[in-house]
Amino acid sequence: MNEALIFDTVRTPRGKGKKSGSLNEVAPVQLAAKVLKSLESRNNLNTEDVDDVVLGCVHPIGEQGADIARTAVLEANWHQTVSGVQVDRFCASGLEAVNIAAAQVMSGQSSLSVGGGVESMSRVPLGSSGGAWMADPTVAYNSYFVPQGISADLLATKYNYSRNDVDSYAVSSQKRASEAWKDNRFKNSIIPVKDQNDLPILEVDEYMRPDTTMQSLGALDPSFEKMGEHGFDDIAILKYPEIESIKHVHHAGNSSGIVDGSAGVLIGNKEMADKYNLKARARIRSFASIGSEPTIMLTGPADSAEKALKKANMNVSDIDLFEMNEAFAAVVLRFMEALKVDHSKVNVNGGAIALGHPLGATGAIILGTVLDELERRDLSTGLITLCVGAGMGTATIIERV
């Protein structure tokens, strides 16, 4: 098997995912094309050598529809021979795209590929692609469908995470993200978004609230209590009858932010490294996706991490740093408890609670974040994982070379 080498990681800053957000004026295909152009220029690529561009996108409809990966290839003016494919594994789509690109290289079917993702949540809102999972009565009944926020609160209830626990976690995410920006730790990957006149549109992650405190979070009402009262709490309890009632602890301040953004990871084999004189920053050790119980939905990261560790013949203690997507605070708390990982190794530069979670792109973003940090600290191994809708988890292990 060939080694899948990571040459470069880039991402846009994350804009607030609403009309007043800075990236709302930028079409998602342009965000993705900027990422591709940046990979091309930073690595002096002749794009004819790129076999495939795999992009995660969770709502592939409207302006994100019709295979946005190939559309972005064309818009980036890459060579026409470069194919593009859009993939959807919900919140892990960006990481799944990286894994697919890596698999192409490992299997020898591609020499150079891009894995990444894009989501303009301000323009193609959450939930806009519908789906049988939640809408089709037979499917919703049989799978005991509840929206993700209810799952997060169910998880917190089942594993006894109090409002205090989840809020404390959120405060630390904001602090870490703020320190990371002050220290310019994202500089290697971040590419400012500029217009056709080279005027800047967005240069920093704008969702952050560094002044967040326990008091300011305490003032927020739980987001999913009303939703729960309309039947979803009962559905969760039908599936988890040991629970008396769901404690609604999650709100906008301890859940991932809705943002716009895009990211890409350039992956190739040794021949390509030699041809372009590219430094292999890391290699992909292993990756795995799993399915888990869909109503609680968000317990997959620990299972997928374990599966990836087993495939890499590694233990939890072999991993220097973890990026566990902060979809909801309780998800990370549960991940750390299940894997017995200390918070000092997890999301050391903050996460989606502070910085935001552009669904299709996040997996590729946080892979770049952990690789940059491994280099800064001169550590070796990183594990990236995300919880995934409908009860799944995806994980990837990278190792610096």
Partner 1 sequence: MNLNNIKLFVDEHNVANLSLQSNSILINEEFINDFIEAINFICNNKKIKGVIISSDQGKYDYDYDLNFLLSLTNAKAIFDFITKFSKTLRKLETIGKPIVSLIEGEIKLCGLEIILHSHYRIALDDSKTNFYFKNIKYSLIPSIGGSQRLPRLVGINESINLFLSNKILSAEEALKIKLIDEIVKEKEQLINAARHYIVNNPVSLQKWDNKKIQSNKLNPFSSQNLGYFISKNASLHANTADHYPSVKVLISSIYEGLNTDVNSGLKIEARHITWLIQNIETRSMIETTILHKSTEKIQEDIIQKFKSSFEENYAAEGVRLLINGVSAPLIENAGKRLDFNAGPLEIADSNEIQCVINHLDSTDAAVASLIRSMQKINRNGLSNDKGFYDYKKGIKHNIWPDLINLIPPSKIQPSIEEVETRLLYSSINNIFYNFIKHSAIKDPKICDLMLIKKIGFPFWTGGAFNWVKKYGIDFFNKKSNEYSKVFGSRFVVNPDILKILKSF
- Please pick, among 59, 248, 250, 357, the residue that the annotation labels catalytic: 357
Residue from 198, 211, 221, 244 touching partner 1 (CB under 8 A): that is 244
Enter the tokens of residue 339: 């894997």
Q: Using CB under 8 A, which of the segments 23-31, 123-131, 281-289, 384-392 binds partner 1?
A: 123-131
Strands 321-324 and 381-388, sheet pairing: parallel
For 77, phi and psi rounded to 5 degrees? 60, 35
Q: How far is the CB of 155 from partner 1 (least distance, A)?
A: 17
Kindly tell me which of 106 and 235 has the beta carbon lying closer to partner 1.
235
Q: Which is nearer to partner 1, 187 or 230 (CB)?
A: 230
Question: Is there binding between residue 245 and partner 1 (CB under 8 A)?
Answer: yes
* Shortest Å, Cβ 152 to partner 1: 16
Asked whether position 135 contacts partner 1 by CB under 8 A, the answer is yes
| 232 makes contact with partner 1 (CB under 8 A) | yes
User: Is 238 strand, coil or helix?
Assistant: helix
Here's the x/- map for partner 1, 34-53, by CB under 8 A: it reads as --------------------
By CB under 8 A, which span of 77-85, 105-113, 127-135, 341-349 interacts with partner 1?
A: 127-135
| Both structure tokens of 36 | 């591709």
With tokens 């990444």, the residue in question is 116
- Pick the closer one to partner 1 by CB: 38 or 143: 143
Cβ proximity to partner 1: between 107 and 245 the closer is 245
The correct pick among 184, 241, 277, 342 for binding partner 1 (CB under 8 A) is 241
CA–CA distances in Å: residue 261 to residues 23, 116, 175: 8, 11, 22
Residue 99 buriedness (CB in 10 A; 0-12 / 13-18 / 19+): buried
Q: Which is nearer to partner 1, 117 or 228 (CB)?
A: 228
Number of residues interacting with partner 1: please give it, by CB under 8 A.
26
Q: Does 242 bind partner 1 (CB under 8 A)?
A: yes
Is 140 an interacting residue with respect to partner 1 (CB under 8 A)?
yes
State the nearest-atom distance from the C-beta of 352 to partner 1, in Å: 24
From the candidates 57, 59, 91, 251, which is the catalytic residue?
Answer: 91
Shortest approach of partner 1 to residue 146 CB, angstroms?
A: 7
Whole-angstrom distance, CA of residue 53 vs CA of residue 262? 13
Nearest Cα residue to 390 out of 292, 255, 263: 292
Q: Which is nearer to partner 1, 138 or 215 (CB)?
A: 138
Q: Please name the residue ranges forming H helices in 58-162.
A: 68-75, 93-106, 132-135, 137-142, 148-158
The nearer residue to partner 1, 242 or 342, going by C-beta atoms, is 242
Euclidean distance between CA atoms 194 and 5, whole angstroms: 29
- Both tokens assigned to 364: 């590729």
List phi, psi (to 5°) of 346.
Answer: -115, 130
Residue 224 interacts with partner 1 (CB under 8 A)? no
Among 46, 62, 108, 130, binds partner 1 (CB under 8 A): 130
What is the residue type of 338? A
DSSP bridge partners of 396: 287, 384
Minimum separation from the CB atom of position 234 to partner 1 (A): 3
Quick check: is 357 catalytic? Answer: yes
Task: Rule CB under 8 A: choose which of 7, 90, 145, 335 binds partner 1.
Answer: 145
Do the Cβ atoms of 355 and 257 come closer than 8 Å?
A: yes
The yes or no reply on residue 160 touching partner 1 (CB under 8 A) is no
The closest of 383, 389, 371 to 327, measured between CA atoms, is: 389
Helix (H/G/I), strand (E/B), else coil: 356: coil
Nearest distance, CB of residue 127 and partner 1, angstroms: 8
> Interface with partner 1 includes 312 (CB under 8 A)?
no
Using CB under 8 A, pick the residue from 136, 165, 179, 203 that binds partner 1.
Answer: 136
The CA-atom distances, in angstroms, between 203 and each of 13, 29, 76, 186 are: 6, 18, 20, 11
**Residue 18 contacts partner 1 per CB under 8 A:** no
The C-alpha angle with vertex 312 and arms to 305 and 187, in degrees rounded to 5, equals 70
The least CB distance from residue 148 to partner 1, in Å, is: 12
Beta strands in 219-341 (DSSP E): 259-268, 282-291, 321-324
Could you give the 3-state DSSP secondary structure of residue 111?
coil
Q: Which residues are catalytic?
A: 91, 357, 387
Chain residues that interact with partner 1, rule: CB under 8 A: 127-128, 130, 134-138, 140-141, 144-147, 230-232, 234-235, 237-238, 241-245
